[in-house]
A and B are shown apart, each in its own frame.
Chain A
Amino acid sequence: MIKVPMIKVYVPRDSTALSVGANRTANAIQQEAQKRGIEIELIRNGSRGLFWLEPFVEVATESGRVAFAPVQPNDVAGLFDAYFLNPDSSTAKAHPLYLGLTEELEWLKKQQRLTFARIGITDPVSIEDYLAHDGYKGLANALKLTPAEIVKIVTDSGLRGRGGAAFPTGIKWNTVLGAGEKGVQKYIVCNADEGDSGTYSDRMVMEDDPFVLIEGMTIAGIAVGANQGYIYLRSEYPHALHILNEAISKAEAAGYLGDNICGSNHTFKLEVRRAAGAYVCGEETSLLESLEGKRGLVRFKPPLPAIEGLFGKPTVVNNVISLATIPIILDKGAQFYADYGMGRSRGTLPIQLAGNIKHGGLVELAFGATLRELLYDFGGGSYTGKPIRAVQVGGPLGAFLPESQFDTPLDYEEFSKIWAVLGHGGIVAFDDTVDMAKMARYAFEFCAIESCGKCTPCRIGSTRGVEVIDKIINGADVEKNTKLVRDLSDTMLNGSLCALGGMTPYPVLSAMNHFAEDFVPKPKSTLKKIIDIVVA
């Protein structure tokens, strides 16, 4: 054996890293090290979120971690030949995949990572690693406070629901704190049914730093007097399920979950429940129905879930990111968090760059950055190199924005002024090959597939919408049918209980308003092709 102190090598285990071969890369590194008689400690960390560079391999040095990326299995032997385990060597530095110190990468340095402070740095299922990186400091502070004091800190931080509705988290908690008789059963429910296309920040938190979510939910439980929590996790995230369950067991074993948390009188138990592929269950009342073992039909409000939620009891329903942001607020204080952001949008937003984008990944920034900065400074333009023609922000119910709106700052109110939404912070870019009439049609189609069926405008309107858009695409009575789509959209906007029916008109009408040229009948030959694709 060559005498080298155990060198730490990091290869992410995040789903997206795995989707581009991180396991194969990790195996190749392990085998090559063995072959050469070099002992290494291979750590499967979370992803830093520079997804275009996955598999993103790092080697620990005294001055920090040095990155080599993207590393495919057939790069591994060459990296060993270049002595990459000693990244300060001239051969390592000369290697084409050498990126230098991770922390110095412009893409990361320009970010303000608060909720994502640990993500990509730690081993997700190591509670020791979590504790070594400021983990459970928020809970330690919370245990010294009264419930009302905790709620006040959350309110003062200005944190608003990151699932998309942007309702002030502290106000919701305060309602649950004051709800019901003393000693009544209350619940904390984490909405982890991240169904919006273009979003993956919840998944990253759960796979890459699960303890921060567990800590946030524990603090929520103590704040409102709930002793039971549920994470309602979408079935499309099998890796997150395993990692969360492993982290929960470790937190229980270490006294951070269960009875007498950290020696206090507080009890908080946590369980992961799997969803089953219904987009509408991301809506909080539909989610609660599903947790109760029913069809995910949307409930009327009032009563609010904060008063009558899960099993009819007062319930906090918060998104993953909202809950995962609680620990840093309790650790650093309300003012620290509120100092970030603009207007009434305080703090940071984990933005997810997706779709046709060169540098896709996770960018956490204070509110106020513009779409253009995100798309070009961070995103590097489109993946295909063609002009970005449209972006959809906030998932399948978000508006499509044209280039003329790319200077809009990311802020809840600024987006609402241009009849758009920030939603869960997903940005999907489309290049100039996109057909916006087809995207409008898809918005109706998606609504038809996912409607829970309770409200007629959503259940029937979505199917009629597909038919009418088809007529427009076919060039049949375009003027009359365009008016019909607008009337139908108006009915859906005003006559649906939840955002599925109520917001499907956002992508439809924004496509019509900003990209009207795509709704003009095309020459027969190309038209036939489009219809074939759409129908296929």
Chain B
Amino acid sequence: MANALSIETSTTIQSLIAQHKQMAGALMPLLHAIQDTIGYIPEDSYLPISKALALSVAEVHGVVTFYHHFRTHPVGNHILHVCRAESCQAMGSEKLEASIKAKLNIDYHQTTSDGAITLEPIYCLGNCACSPAVMMDDEVYGRMDSQKMADLISEARAS
């Protein structure tokens, strides 16, 4: 393993690899487990993963970067996903997006300067009967407007 990872992180990754490597089609569940535990998938984990699953480092890199959900860098304390799909567009999500970006002073794929919130686009949360929708961490919020959004952001910053 490369030196960039702390011993603690390396140990975590090794133990997750050990837990998953016998599964059929192990790579996706393993990547999820790493991201759920560490918050992202460190590029330095590619080598030990590839060795354990008999893949090349390039193949692991290819899979990680193919999927929008996986990320290779740390994120803020909370992740705010804003739905950009048609149903939310029909209910004014573009205005909402603009107000969120202005409020947080960041664009998509960026983290606020206080490290509180990372902003990501998402394409449908399955909450289309109550558009527009956003997801803060694992919770979906429907019928959003800029006031409710401001409250949600303040709550997240406080926690």
Contact = CB atoms under 8 A, between A and B. Distances in A.
B12 to A, nearest CB: 19
Contact of B87 (A197, A236, A295): A197
A477 B86 CA distance: 28
Q: Which of A278, A360, A361, A533 has the most CB of B within 10 A?
A: A360
Contacts of B53: 293
A236 B125 CA distance: 6
Contacts of B67: 275-278, 296
A293 B140 contact: no
B91 A383 contact: yes
Contacts of B2: none
B32 A355 contact: no
A196 interface: yes
A430 B142 contact: no
A200 B129 contact: yes
B155 interface: no
A197 B69 contact: no
Main secondary structure of the interface of A (DSSP, over half): mixed
Contacts of A235: 32, 69
Interface string A382-408: 010000000010001000000000000
A429 B90 contact: yes
Interface string A40-65: 00000000000110100000000000
A430 B131 CA distance: 12
Interface string B61-88: 0110011111000000000010001111
B128 A198 contact: yes
B133 interface: yes
A136 interface: no
Residue of A235, A355, A392, A434 ringed by the most chain B CB atoms within 10 A: A355
A16 B29 contact: no
A54 B63 CA distance: 39
Contacts of B135: 236
A196 B125 CA distance: 10
Interface in A209-250: 235-239
5 contacts: A16-B130, A20-B143, A354-B129, A396-B123, A428-B86
Given A15-B140, A236-B122, A533-B98, 7 more contacts: A19-B133, A194-B126, A291-B28, A352-B129, A396-B85, A439-B86, A450-B123
